[in-house]
Amino acid sequence: MGHVRHDDSPSAVVLGADITGLGTVRALARQGIDVTSVMNPRGRPSEYTRYARKVADGGSEGEEYVQLLEELADQFSEPAFLIASADHHVIFMSQYRDILQKRYRYVLPDNAVVDTLMDKAAFARWADQHGLRAPATMVIEDMDAAHQAAEALRFPCILKPTVKLRKWFRTSLHEFGKVVPVASSEELIRIYDQVSSDAPGMVLQESIPGDDESLVFCFVYIDKEGTVRATYEGRKIRQWPPLYGTGSLLVGAPEPEVRQATVDLLQCAGYVGIGSAEFKRDPRDNQLYVIECTVGRPDKNSGLATDAGLNIPYLAYCDAVGLPLPEMHIKRPGLKWLDERADVAATRVYRRDLGLSLRQWLNSLRGPRTYALASWDDPLPAAYLAMGFLARSVGLRNKWWR
The pLDDT tens digits of the residues spanning 330-372 come to: 999 999 999 999 999 999 999 999 899 999 999 999 999 999 9
pLDDT at 2: 39
CA distance 239 to 135: 20
Q: Which DSSP symbol is given to 167?
A: G
CA distance 46 to 279: 28
User: Which residue from 292, 288, 294 is spatially nearest to 275, judged by alpha carbons?
Assistant: 294
Q: With 80 as the cut, is the pLDDT of residue 5 above it?
A: no
pLDDT band per the 50, 70, 90 thresholds, residue 45: very high
CATH number assigned to the domain comprising residue 101: 3.40.50.720
Q: With 60 as the cut, is the pLDDT of residue 168 above it?
A: no
Over its C-alpha atoms, the chain yields an Rg (Å, rounded) of 21
The pLDDT tens digits of the residues spanning 81-120 come to: 999 999 999 999 999 999 999 999 999 999 999 999 999 8
175 and 201 share one domain: yes
Q: Is 234 contained in some domain?
A: yes
Domain range for 152: 136-206
User: Which residue from 204, 141, 195, 140 is spatially nearest to 169, judged by alpha carbons?
Assistant: 195
CATH number assigned to the domain comprising residue 262: 3.30.470.20
Output the average pLDDT for the chain.
91
Q: Is 126 contained in some domain?
A: no
Q: Is 402 contained in some domain?
A: no
pLDDT at 394: 74
Number of domains composing the chain: 3
The Cβ of residue 363 has, within 10 Å, a number of other Cβ atoms equal to: 10
User: Which residue from 90, 44, 92 is spatially nearest to 381, judged by alpha carbons?
Assistant: 44
223 and 87 share one domain: no
311 and 219 share one domain: yes
pLDDT at 250: 98
The pLDDT tens digits of the residues spanning 202-235 come to: 899 999 999 999 999 999 999 999 999 999 999 9
Decide if 172 contacts 165 (C-beta within 8 A).
Answer: no
Q: How far lies 95's CA from each of 37, 92, 339, in Å?
A: 21, 5, 32
Q: Is 80 contained in some domain?
A: yes
pLDDT at 30: 97
- Residue 217: helix, strand or coil by DSSP? strand
283 and 176 share one domain: no
166 and 50 share one domain: no
Please say which residue of 182, 206, 230 terminates a domain: 206
For the stretch 351-358, contacts whose Cβ atoms lie closer than 8 Å and that sit 24 or more positions apart, written own/partner, are: 353/242, 354/211, 354/242
314 and 180 share one domain: no
CA distance 354 to 293: 27
User: Which residue from 174, 163, 161, 177 is spatially nearest to 89, judged by alpha carbons?
Assistant: 163
pLDDT at 399: 56
pLDDT at 83: 98
Average pLDDT over residues 57-70: 94
Average pLDDT over residues 240-262: 94
| pTM (global) more than 0.75 | yes
pLDDT at 1: 35
The Cβ of residue 193 has, within 10 Å, a number of other Cβ atoms equal to: 11
Strands annotated E in 16-143: 35-39, 53-56, 80-84, 104-105, 137-140
pLDDT band per the 50, 70, 90 thresholds, residue 173: very low
255 and 297 share one domain: yes
Looking at the chain, the number of H-run helices and the number of E-run strands are 14, 16
51 and 91 share one domain: yes
Please state, for a pLDDT cut of 70, what percent of the chain lies above it. 92
Q: Is 224 contained in some domain?
A: yes
The pLDDT tens digits of the residues spanning 10-42 come to: 999 999 999 999 999 999 999 999 999 999 998
CATH number assigned to the domain comprising residue 167: 3.30.1490.20
Q: With 60 as the cut, is the pLDDT of residue 176 above it?
A: no
Q: With 70 as the cut, is the pLDDT of residue 4 above it?
A: no
User: Which residue from 298, 375, 300, 307 is spatially nearest to 50, judged by alpha carbons?
Assistant: 375
Decide if 14 contacts 29 (C-beta within 8 A).
Answer: no
